[in-house]
Amino acid sequence: MIEQTASPTGPRRGARPAARGADAAVPAAPRDGFWNALDTAQREDLRTAARPRTYSARAPLCYQGEDSDHIIIIESGWAKVTSTTQDGHDVVLAVRGPGDLICESAVLGGRRRSATVTALSPVRALVVPAARFTGFLDTHPAVWRLVSGTLVRRQDDADRRLQAHVSAKGTRRLAGLLAQLAEMSAKHSPPAPDGRIAIAPPLSQEELGSWMDASRETVARALNNLRAQGLVRTGWRKIVVEDLPGLRAYAEGED
């Protein structure tokens, strides 16, 4: 998802009742993605309304400022969400991965997109035209709760990012970001037997710096500190978290 603003929390006026009783069981804000929260029948209905599409690494999935005529569900691969400032600087806002719904709040709000989504790796996705997606929500009104819950969770994530920017500096802020990325990655690829977790989204030091509001040099120094403490191991566009509990504790200021 791109925008942080609120969307409708229920079906539109005149929406049809739920077609299946299983809709009532849809959770409000799953941590493992929109797609994984749907039941088999809901997935089949949504796949019928969609067209499959693939994107190569660095290809845009959607652009900031364009009209909102479709939503996208990532099936595999990773993408970054960025916003361009008035001085032309791109700021990384979030990373989205398998199962995530993106571009939907602009569609539901009837406005232009407020950010750009770009593939970090090859991405396979389902593209659903706006009218078909809202029709799907009318047929499955309980999924509105899932969509709006996802929006709320992402707003909470943005608030935590702002709080971390104020309360934590340098290495601790990077440690918190890497712990978040490691937890996200572990949902899609199990940790190694010794507990090591390879961070899946292939982010550069510059992209990490943009996300945590720091320079590339600050990120490089912070990575050196975390390596020296045995918390991470790094390579070109590759970071392996050696000790996730230790990294999380360090980010929270514990010894």
pTM: 0.80
pLDDT class for 166, splitting at 50, 70, 90?
Answer: low
Q: Which domain holds residue 239?
A: 168-251
Q: For 81-132, what is each residue's pLDDT tens digit?
A: 999 888 888 899 999 999 999 987 666 666 778 889 999 999 999 999 999 9
Pair 221, 195 in one domain:
yes
Whether residue 214 contacts residue 173, with contact meaning beta carbons closer than 8 Å, is answered with yes
Q: For 47-80, what is each residue's pLDDT tens digit?
A: 999 999 999 999 999 998 888 789 999 999 999 9
pLDDT of residue 85: 83
Q: For 189-217, what is each residue's pLDDT tens digit?
A: 899 999 999 999 999 999 999 998 889 99
Whether residue 50 contacts residue 73, with contact meaning beta carbons closer than 8 Å, is answered with yes
Pair 184, 97 in one domain:
no
In a domain, 38, yes or no: yes
DSSP character for 243? -
Pair 58, 179 in one domain:
no
Q: Domains in the chain: how many in total?
A: 2
* pLDDT higher than threshold 60 for residue 162: yes
Pair 144, 197 in one domain:
no
**CATH number for the domain including 199?**
1.10.10.10
Amino acid, res. 151: L
